[in-house]
Chains A and B, each alone.
Chain A
Amino acid sequence: KQEVTQIPAALSVPEGENLVLNCSFTDSAIYNLQWFRQDPGKGLTSLLLIQSSQREQTSGRLNASLDKSSGRSTLYIAASQPGDSATYLCAVFNDTGNQFYFGTGTSLTVIP
């Protein structure tokens, strides 16, 4: 069974700092990987989706990389802002099956 781990579980940084969130998965036979943001009391918002054939995706201040063979992905957030404070979830979709496997998330706090 696919297992997804996110490190660190929580992170607190001052505003303006660049930061990296880590995601690892045990089964490299994935179809794609997706990073989500979850705000308290709200659903998930998709940030970036990386297909298994891709190495990275960028959207604004966010950059996600994928190393499928080593089972790792990173989400890089540049020039962090207080509005970035949220829980960030990584999810992988296997080559077989119908479900995303989610990590437990990294809770990010950006201090003004």
Chain B
Amino acid sequence: GAGVSQSPSNKVTEKGKDVELRCDPISGHTALYWYRQSLGQGLEFLIYFQGNSAPDKSGLPSDRFSAERTGGSVSTLTIQRTQQEDSAVYLCASSFRLAGKDTQYFGPGTRLTVL
């Protein structure tokens, strides 16, 4: 069956440009997460969507980062005016029910490189 998919798999951009990263969760999953994994670091929580509730944005590192989830399915993470420290692998995960109550399924990630 289809898992979580992310696009693009790799993105190279110049400092100052905006980027959009896409996540397609597993159909029927109500919970969706974005994480960031920097080189040699653990996963860092960014944002959490649950159904139609207001997202938990407490992990977003700056106001250059934003995310939306349209129709309770596809999510887009946008980074404006990218900086070199934004270079990382961005991982999306979804789960069937409320956060923490079910196994999270991760996508393959988007590797972002900011030159």
- Residues of A at under 8 Å CB distance from B? 4, 31-32, 34, 36, 41-46, 49, 89, 91, 93, 97-105
Q: B56 and A99: CB pair below 8 A?
A: yes
Q: A43 and B91: CB pair below 8 A?
A: yes
Q: A4 and B45: CB pair below 8 A?
A: no
How close is A83's CB to chain B, nearest CB, in angstroms?
19
Q: B104 and A34: CB pair below 8 A?
A: yes
Known interface pairs A43-B4, A43-B91; A100-B41 also in contact (CB < 8 Å): no
How close is A87's CB to chain B, nearest CB, in angstroms?
10
Q: A31 and B100: CB pair below 8 A?
A: yes
Does B71 sit at the interface, judged by CB under 8 A? no
How close is A26's CB to chain B, nearest CB, in angstroms?
14
Q: A89 and B56: CB pair below 8 A?
A: no
Number of A-B pairs whose CB atoms are under 8 Å?
Answer: 61
Does B109 sit at the interface, judged by CB under 8 A? yes
How close is B31's CB to chain A, nearest CB, in angstroms?
9
Q: B43 and A102: CB pair below 8 A?
A: yes
Does B96 sit at the interface, judged by CB under 8 A? no
Docked pose: A67 CA to B80 CA in angstroms: 43
Q: B105 and A46: CB pair below 8 A?
A: yes
Docked pose: A36 CA to B95 CA in angstroms: 14
Query: Which A residues touch B48, using CB under 8 A?
Result: 98-99
Does B103 sit at the interface, judged by CB under 8 A? yes
Docked pose: A45 CA to B45 CA in angstroms: 17
Does B65 sit at the interface, judged by CB under 8 A? no
